[in-house]
Structure 1
Amino acid sequence: MSTKYLKRFFKPKSIAVFGASEKPGSMGGIVVQNLLGSKFPGVLMCINPEGYDQVFGVPCYQSISELPEMPDLAIICSPPDSVADIIRKLGAHMVKAAIILTGGLSIKNNPAAKTLSESVREAARPYGIRIMGPDCMGLLVPGSNMNASYSHMHIQKGKVAYIGQSGLLGTAMIDWANGREIGFSHFMTLGDGVDVDLSSVIDYVSQDPYTHSILLQMDRVSGSSRNFISALRAACRNKLVLVLKSGIFSEEASKIAATPGIPNEDVVYDAALRRAGAVRVDTSDQLFNALETLSRMKPLRGERLAIICNGMGPNALAADRLLNSGGKLATLSEETISQLDNILLPGWNQKNPIDLNSDATPERFAQVSQILSKDKEVDVILSIHAPTRLAPSVETADELVKVIRKSQRNILTCWMGRATAIEARNHCNAANVATFITPEEAIDAFMHMVDYRRNQVVMRQTPATYIEQNTQNHQKAKKIIADALAEPRDYLTHDEACDLLDQYDIPVQNSYYAEDIETVVARAEEIGGSVAIKALHRKNVYPFSYDDQASQRRNDLAQDLYSSSDVRYATTKLAYRVSERIGDDQSMGFCVQQMKRGFQSLQINVGITRDPTFGPIIVFGAGGFTVDVLADRHVMLPPMNTALAKELVKNSRIYKIIKEHSYQPERDVEQLSDMILKLSEMIVDLPNLQGLEINPLLLNKMGILAVDVAVSIGDKSELAISPYPGDLEESIALKRSGRPAVVRPIRGEDEPRHLDFYNKLSPESIRMRYFYSRGVPSHQELASWTQIDYDREMAFIVTAPSLDGTGPETLGVVRVVTDPDNIQSEFSVVIRDDLQGEGLGVILMRKAVDYCRSRKTLMIEGSTLPTNKGMQGLALKLGFTNTFNMEEEVVDMKMKLNEPTEDWQFTRLQH
């Protein structure tokens, strides 16, 4: 997440280009020409050992030591073998940013050698120099008049940032965007990303006020997946982010990188991007069309779409695409229908989509669009036009543009055809109106905006009330895994796996174990009735470890056995199969269970697996022997709350079955969601838990029951999303009253209590906290305050049981937000007015200071109004230095927590 020195990439005052010449095809020469063509306002220099005096009029030097000044940014286009040495010299001369356009650095000359990329990384490390690339196209920043790339074209200024990993896709995007007169705030491809990665750049551009949305083209996540998800989540809070994920893997590589239980890594990427709040597009065409909507659409006020066309054929195509994509057709109001009766031909269907008829004139298109734009039941309008003699494309476009310029609604246009439609599209492009070639493309682009809006709603859903966990049982679960690891083993036995579920209150089928056939028969007689027997061996003890042929799973199981003779025969057959397939030495005995037929049970597969990129994930879908046939595997990244768990259930085929056949669908969803939350708790509590599979989990009118379970264990793993830091909880007593309370990090579940807390603040306390008077916060604001990313910010609250017995209440809160480089953390604190004098300010501020100090943050600071003497006195008491800021007319409070260790940290602190 570090953004140190990134400003030198995007806003350099001087640039030096290595390897520049006037030879045809010289990459360095192309970069110099692009910098000159973009009218870069800073100092330009070239370096080439060939001894040129200048390159395209730019002074050229033989080595870096001859430069009249050290550049903010170095652009390296030199041969691969020389790049690492250039980086060392740049670092020695205190240059802090370099773009490597040179390709081929990932190739090894022999298997034992390091790649040139690795050599570059090692050369840069001692000096702290930031590197973009290698094998990237460079970057373009129209706002800074800078084209520091080998792109064949310049770009226009816009409000969309493009961040890619493929240079060729980047140049294609530039060509397409220029043809549509679409601009960018930033444009770059990162190539191999040996240092500056997606996370860093996403952090930088998301803080840019001129960037309204981000297009991300990626092949893979380089670096920490937690940093990537954290940066993406932060960006998606304020900006629309669309992602084109691609990837080319050989069959062998895909097997090595495969996630157990998940045959397609795209499912995991989908889950990660959706959890972050980003919208994924599937093709480059969709990415281009998404850019159209990002650049030219206003924020959505809703998702109800009205469609108009001079014919029902295109209307039907658009409506079908919309409904199949989960979109909503607007219902026309009576007033709108009445107004349209005066314009349209008698007998029109009075419904949406609206057929303007083949004789529709440009004026009719404009009139209908204007009426719809005033209908409160319509959020967005799509105008589709097929050229006719009465409705020429260009004239119709000009009339529609007049309406669009005056409308508060989003109006999308689609000009079908080519010969006359091209000119109509050009008119729309010039007027900054979103336009598409086909109705399907228009609907797809619109649905990307809808998906983003829906993602934001899901991200900000208020979780259900938090239930305190059974920590004593969780300690037992930790011991089960620790004992197995100590043997050492990388799996739990069937008995241990069932015990693990029991510690988290997941209902488990009673199981009886036997080492031989005679004991199996005895156990079956004790159970009575119909029984099932499973042969246990080393190949079925691991989760998601299925045979290549799904039918082979049945070879380990015998069901519906009533008599002792049936049990003896079936067990003998199972033992023979195990001996034949894997050998007697791999056998681990038998498990005997009572059959659970009846109650119309639904079989579900649910569990935990570990992805090579994103770490632990939760899997949910259809179970039993059909698990592979149905391919109903849905995943989500932990940690999870109730709203996310329900979303996981509702995305599966299981939910459709529950809705159609269950007499208590809400209860079933609640039970499944609760169990998924328990699996999420397991992941957080048990970092050595590598995999867990419950298959089948039975769901019927009696509830849920885990019939079979397998668990694997191994090295510790890190979650891609930071979990709730329960270790920071602390019990306290209030100073004056002695009232017991708890200081802890805030949770999303605290939103209702946080609103109550806010409503109990006096207008003066609110003004002191926010520096202005303000009304009651919205749900969106409250969600942002309570559903925080613990990797980026922290809010500690003091909570205690209410005196009237209505439940816990929030007494005070302190919030600290740290910059991506962990240099400075800004705090804010507020205490309820009726609790002044209880020592809460001191408790919360010390908690915040200790937290920031433990994270190696260099400084904590805050501001308060000059009239807030209480806050100023508290700061002085804790060791802050207070100074009056004349420019802002506030009192700045600062405390140094840790000493800087690098030059750039000293520089940042001085600013």
Structure 2
Amino acid sequence: MSVRHLDKLFAPRSIALIGASNREKSVGQVVARNLFHSGFAGPVMPVNPKAEAVEGVLAYPDVAGLPFAPDLAVICTPPDTVADLVGQLGGRGTKACVVITAGFGEGGDEEGHRRRQAVLDAAQPHTLRLVGPNCVGMMVPPLGLNASFAHIGAKTGNLAFLTQSGAMVTAMLDWATPRGIGFSKVVSLGDMADVDFGDLLDYLANDRDTRAILLYVEAVTHARKFMSAARAAARAKPVIVIKGGRHAEGMKAAASHTGALAGSDAVYDTAFKRAGMLRVYTLEELFDAAETLANSARQARTVGERLAILTNGGGLGVLATDALIEGGGKLAELSPETLERLDAALPATWSHGNPVDIIGDAPGERYEAALSGLLSDRQIDAVLVMNCPVAVADPLEAATSVVKAIEETEGRSKPVFTAWLGEEAPQAARRLFAEKKLPTYPTPEQAVRAFMHLVRYRRNQELLMQTPDSVPEHAEPDQETVRSLLEAALLEGREWLTEPEAKRVLAAYGIPTVQTREVADAEAALAAAEEIGYPVALKILSPDITHKSDVGGVKLDIESAEQLQRETARMLRRCREAQPDAKITGFTVQQMARRPGAHELILGIVEDLQFGPVVLFGAGGTAVEVVKDKALALPPLNMALARAMMGETRIHRLLEGYRDQPAADRDAIARALIDLSQLAADFQEIAEIDINPLLADADGVLALDARVKVQPAPDASRRAAWRLAIRPYPKHLEQTGELRDGTTVKLRPVRPEDETALVETYRNMTQEDVHMRFFHYMKALDHESAARLTQIDYNREMALVAEPEDGPGEIWGVVRIAADPDNARAEYAVSVRSELKGRGLGYLLMRRILAYAEERGIGEVWGDVLSENERMLQMNEELGFTLSRHSDDPGIVRVVKTLG
């Protein structure tokens, strides 16, 4: 991931167009016209060896003939010329290049792939950044920069639009321009040979001209890079995404139920949620959501789901209510105080409930009184105000009164949506709402959809910030047992573990399994059943039979030896008839689990082509693929994420208990999901896991059947966690250290569960020490600040906490570094509890984090220190930092250490 030199892309002082042309309707001619006639203030230098001038501007014969190196170059010459041109431009000092030309491996062309690599090889020595190839180009409307062959330019605004599809650029501009929607940046990424979504999300997260980021995504190339950048950007501003190719098959062919259920589009949807982004499905919805979220940025993170509806037409209220319930929202219940207030202000014929129907002849005063009452009600999270044009009332007067009510009651702390219906009558009202930055929509359904955008956005943001409970006590996993089972299967050339082996894998990670014996024949089955005790379940054992029930390979509730003997013979016959080529190695005999009323669930892991391992949860049993009640999540998981995943399914309502059925132990289910995600992080040899059914009731969980698919390690030189889209907890960084007085402390990476302990740490520090750390005084860390300090992206940040050797749950000190997207520089911060100062804990933490930074390849660690913080400055000098006064604030000292 890198934002290096992207300033040259988005704020160039000069541009060269290689392949500029005067030939009508050629790409070179259209790009030249756009560059010269869009208002860019800097020099634009056309390069064409056969033309004296392009667009009336003197042309240069080649790159060498340019009077100086351009900041940005745009190339639209034949594909075989591009690599050499990139090398020439890089040699002259150009740092950004847009390659519009196609022919670089689209559709799998081998020669094109060779050209693509040649272009990258030419750019790399000069750190020249490439957009494309095979793209429409890019625009920066505030600079008058249009380096594209689009047929229309973009208006200036505060939305950034990034797309893989060039056609989406032109379609989007056609749609947005007549609606007055403007942009800060428009980038067609094309084949993303270099600059990709991750790079641009990192850049735009800190771009002051951009209030919201819109994406059109077809495929992600570097999942971890994308997830890190998306999570960082979504914390800063709304990120809204459309995914193209929703129904394309993107999963590896999978033999298990898990593999069949976890389709490619569902995995993308999971990734977008986990990153805190909002997914939409149409261009219209994309811009509606952008406008809603950008204008309600503060409310968007906090708005609840309870909507009040105010209307002058009962039918409109019914339509809005239907849309709200279907979308997953809630109709607010009006408080007694609000009902009393509305009774006093409205005619006796008003609806006396929500929706609040103030009758068709409602003048502006009635709108104002009703809205003021609703905005003051704490049981309401947002208000939708609607107007249907009638002959006896003025729509503009009603709109003016709505604005007045909002301004007088400071109602902007509560989102207000408007829907003024009709064509001609509401035009003036809509202009007023637009001027006041109030969201307005032509139909009730669109207005409700906009409200639900806020709700869904808030839900996704909560996943970024929610503090998880501590994971229930659990024995350390038996990794050696799992490793030996996987290695043995791979040595034998097997793709699947046997059922008993699969259950041993689960048991090694703390997932309860039913007692199971693997036997070779009927005689051995009888002996195993006698040992286990009747009743038993009998299952066929074959590496070639995936779904045993489908071929008659499962028999439950066998009560006696005679019945078992009959069933072994029948099962062999059925399976050989159904699948004659299958190799049958015997049977499994397992204890018959008696759990009346238990729910059948499915849990699993499958590997996605883009995002790596994915965890599945849902309703289990033989009809699992018909019911399709499931949810997906990207590992790693914690208790909060596991519970949220369970809450997305219909069966979760049953797990909560109903009538005389007690609630299932949902913590045990969440724990099993966490264990599965840990297995995926620990063993890259695991390609798939399928637990179906997992019984769940008030007494816990029990795995009845399990399958584990194995594969040779994709990259044995790296830790297994490399394939996860989100870097999991780096357990290998857990260490011990010793203070000056001999006290042993444990050092480990921070976890999201540490929020409460971290808040307590800062509560136990003096106000002066807190001021030295944060440069301002505060009584306590609020939830949002504490969550940002504990729920870190291990791929970019690292925080090590120190805790007493025998006192987990208490944090004595913490040190952190946050690297830039280029991994070149990292900022540090360190805190130690006030009563522990002087014992060497700060030095210990700093030395460990500097060693980690050097291991990561970070070139420089820096920090800002208050000039009166003499103890910290002394430590910096002793650790080899150089000190200098901050250029903007003489009260701050900038400290910098260059690493090897």
- Provide closer, same or farther for how the CA distance between residues 595 and 335 of structure 1 changes in structure 2, counting only shifts above 3 A: closer
> 1:271, 1:636 within 8 Å by CA — same for their partners in 2?
yes
- Aligned residue for 1:41, secondary structure, equals coil
Report what 1:595 is aligned to.
592
- Aligned residue for 2:831, secondary structure, equals strand
What is the identity, as a one-letter code, of the residue corresponding to 1:164? T
2:456 aligned with 1:460: no
- Provide closer, same or farther for how the CA distance between residues 852 and 755 of structure 1 changes in structure 2, counting only shifts above 3 A: same
Report what 2:482 is aligned to.
477
Report what 2:648 is aligned to.
651
Query: Whole-Å Cα distance in 1 between the matches of residues 805 and 350 of structure 2?
Result: 64
Q: How many Å apart are 1:798 and its aligned residue?
A: 0.8
> 2:349, 2:359 within 8 Å by CA — same for their partners in 1?
no
> 1:181, 1:429 within 8 Å by CA — same for their partners in 2?
no
Q: How many Å apart are 1:205 and its aligned residue?
A: 0.1
Report what 1:753 is aligned to.
757
Q: How many Å apart are 1:376 and its aligned residue?
A: 4.0
Report what 1:90 is aligned to.
89
Residues 129-181 of structure 1 deviation map (CA, whole Å, 9 limit, x = unaligned)? 21111232322223333233333333343333222222222333333333333
Q: Counterparts of 1:346-745 in structure 2 under 5 Å? A: 346-401=348-403, 403=405, 407-409=410-412, 410-422=415-427, 424-466=429-471, 470-471=475-476, 473-540=478-545, 545-546=546-547, 553-583=550-580, 586-661=583-658, 668-714=665-711, 715-716=713-714, 718-736=723-741, 738-745=742-749
> 1:412, 1:433 within 8 Å by CA — same for their partners in 2?
yes
Q: 1:241 aligns with which of 225, 239, 242?
A: 239
Q: How many Å apart are 1:393 and its aligned residue?
A: 4.0
Q: How many Å apart are 1:214 and its aligned residue?
A: 1.7
> 2:333, 2:379 within 8 Å by CA — same for their partners in 1?
yes
- Provide closer, same or farther for how the CA distance between residues 105 and 521 of structure 1 changes in structure 2, counting only shifts above 3 A: same
Report what 1:286 is aligned to.
285
Residues 450-500 of structure 1 deviation map (CA, whole Å, 9 limit, x = unaligned)? 111122223222222256764472333223323333444333222221211
- Aligned residue for 2:445, secondary structure, equals helix
> 2:248, 2:265 within 8 Å by CA — same for their partners in 1?
no
> 1:273, 1:279 within 8 Å by CA — same for their partners in 2?
yes
Q: How many Å apart are 1:642 and its aligned residue?
A: 0.7
Query: Whole-Å Cα distance in 2 between the matches of residues 80 and 21 of structure 1?
Result: 16
> 1:158, 1:295 within 8 Å by CA — same for their partners in 2?
no
- Aligned residue for 1:828, secondary structure, equals strand
Report what 2:848 is aligned to.
847
Q: 1:320 aligns with which of 309, 322, 326?
A: 322
Residues 21-49 of structure 1 deviation map (CA, whole Å, 9 limit, x = unaligned)? 34332333333333344321222111122
Query: Whole-Å Cα distance in 2 between the matches of residues 34 and 394 of structure 1?
Result: 41
Q: How many Å apart are 1:582 and its aligned residue?
A: 4.3
- Provide closer, same or farther for how the CA distance between residues 109 and 841 of structure 1 changes in structure 2, counting only shifts above 3 A: closer
658-667 vs 564-573, which moves further = 658-667
Report what 1:816 is aligned to.
817
2:804 aligned with 1:800: yes
Residues 405-460 of structure 1 deviation map (CA, whole Å, 9 limit, x = unaligned)? 66442322212233434554345435533221211111111111111112222322
Q: How many Å apart are 1:307 and its aligned residue?
A: 1.4
2:151 aligned with 1:146: no
Q: 1:768 aligns with which of 738, 751, 772?
A: 772
Q: How many Å apart are 1:634 and its aligned residue?
A: 1.4
Residues 885-904 of structure 1 deviation map (CA, whole Å, 9 limit, x = unaligned)? 35322222111113xxxxxx
Report what 1:41 is aligned to.
41
Q: How many Å apart are 1:394 and its aligned residue?
A: 4.7
RMSD: 2.6
Q: How many Å apart are 1:695 and its aligned residue?
A: 1.2
Query: Whole-Å Cα distance in 2 between the matches of residues 117 and 363 of structure 1?
Result: 66
Query: Whole-Å Cα distance in 2 between the matches of residues 508 and 648 of structure 1?
Result: 22
Q: How many Å apart are 1:313 and its aligned residue?
A: 0.8
> 1:182, 1:295 within 8 Å by CA — same for their partners in 2?
no
Q: How many Å apart are 1:115 and its aligned residue?
A: 6.2
Query: Whole-Å Cα distance in 2 between the matches of residues 443 and 655 of structure 1?
Result: 26
358-367 vs 319-328, which moves further = 358-367
> 1:161, 1:185 within 8 Å by CA — same for their partners in 2?
yes
2:896 aligned with 1:891: no
Query: Whole-Å Cα distance in 2 between the matches of residues 339 and 639 of structure 1?
Result: 50
What is the identity, as a one-letter code, of the residue corresponding to 1:588? T
354-363 vs 869-878, which moves further = 354-363
Query: Whole-Å Cα distance in 2 between the matches of residues 466 and 836 of structure 1?
Result: 31
365-374 vs 384-393, which moves further = 365-374
Q: Counterparts of 1:261-276 in structure 2 under 5 Å? A: 261-262=260-261, 264-276=263-275
> 1:697, 1:708 within 8 Å by CA — same for their partners in 2?
yes
Q: How many Å apart are 1:568 and its aligned residue?
A: 2.4
Report what 1:825 is aligned to.
826
Q: How many Å apart are 1:659 and its aligned residue?
A: 2.6
Q: How many Å apart are 1:255 and its aligned residue?
A: 6.7
> 2:537, 2:589 within 8 Å by CA — same for their partners in 1?
yes
Query: Whole-Å Cα distance in 2 between the matches of residues 120 and 546 of structure 1?
Result: 49
Report what 1:228 is aligned to.
226
Query: Whole-Å Cα distance in 2 between the matches of residues 229 and 265 of structure 1?
Result: 16
Structure 2 gaps, min length 5: 715-719
2:782 aligned with 1:784: no
- Provide closer, same or farther for how the CA distance between residues 673 and 191 of structure 1 changes in structure 2, counting only shifts above 3 A: same
Q: How many Å apart are 1:373 and its aligned residue?
A: 3.4
What is the identity, as a one-letter code, of the residue corresponding to 1:455? N
What is the identity, as a one-letter code, of the residue corresponding to 2:119? V
What is the identity, as a one-letter code, of the residue corresponding to 2:239? V
Q: How many Å apart are 1:60 and its aligned residue?
A: 1.8
Query: Whole-Å Cα distance in 2 between the matches of residues 347 and 256 of structure 1?
Result: 62
Query: Whole-Å Cα distance in 2 between the matches of residues 529 and 562 of structure 1?
Result: 6
Report what 1:907 is aligned to.
none
Query: Whole-Å Cα distance in 1 between the matches of residues 167 and 662 of structure 2?
Result: 50
What is the identity, as a one-letter code, of the residue corresponding to 2:267? V
> 1:608, 1:691 within 8 Å by CA — same for their partners in 2?
yes
194-203 vs 237-246, which moves further = 237-246
Query: Whole-Å Cα distance in 1 between the matches of residues 170 and 662 of structure 2?
Result: 51
> 2:303, 2:454 within 8 Å by CA — same for their partners in 1?
no
> 2:254, 2:260 within 8 Å by CA — same for their partners in 1?
no
Query: Whole-Å Cα distance in 1 between the matches of residues 661 and 86 of structure 2?
Result: 66
2:71 aligned with 1:66: no
177-186 vs 630-639, which moves further = 177-186
Query: Structure 2-normalised TM-score?
Result: 0.92
- Provide closer, same or farther for how the CA distance between residues 267 and 663 of structure 1 changes in structure 2, counting only shifts above 3 A: farther
- Aligned residue for 1:829, secondary structure, equals strand
62-71 vs 289-298, which moves further = 289-298
Structure 1 gaps, min length 5: 899-911
Query: Whole-Å Cα distance in 2 between the matches of residues 680 and 242 of structure 1?
Result: 27
Q: How many Å apart are 1:341 and its aligned residue?
A: 3.1
- Aligned residue for 1:200, secondary structure, equals helix
> 1:883, 1:892 within 8 Å by CA — same for their partners in 2?
yes
> 2:139, 2:148 within 8 Å by CA — same for their partners in 1?
yes
Report what 1:133 is aligned to.
132
2:9 aligned with 1:9: yes
- Provide closer, same or farther for how the CA distance between residues 651 and 285 of structure 1 changes in structure 2, counting only shifts above 3 A: same
Q: How many Å apart are 1:830 and its aligned residue?
A: 1.6
How many residues are treated as equivalent by the alignment?
883
- Provide closer, same or farther for how the CA distance between residues 211 and 113 of structure 1 changes in structure 2, counting only shifts above 3 A: closer
Query: Whole-Å Cα distance in 1 between the matches of residues 378 and 654 of structure 2?
Result: 36
Residues 244-269 of structure 1 deviation map (CA, whole Å, 9 limit, x = unaligned)? 11216767x77769982335212111
Query: Whole-Å Cα distance in 2 between the matches of residues 632 and 83 of structure 1?
Result: 50
Query: Whole-Å Cα distance in 1 between the matches of residues 109 and 690 of structure 2?
Result: 43
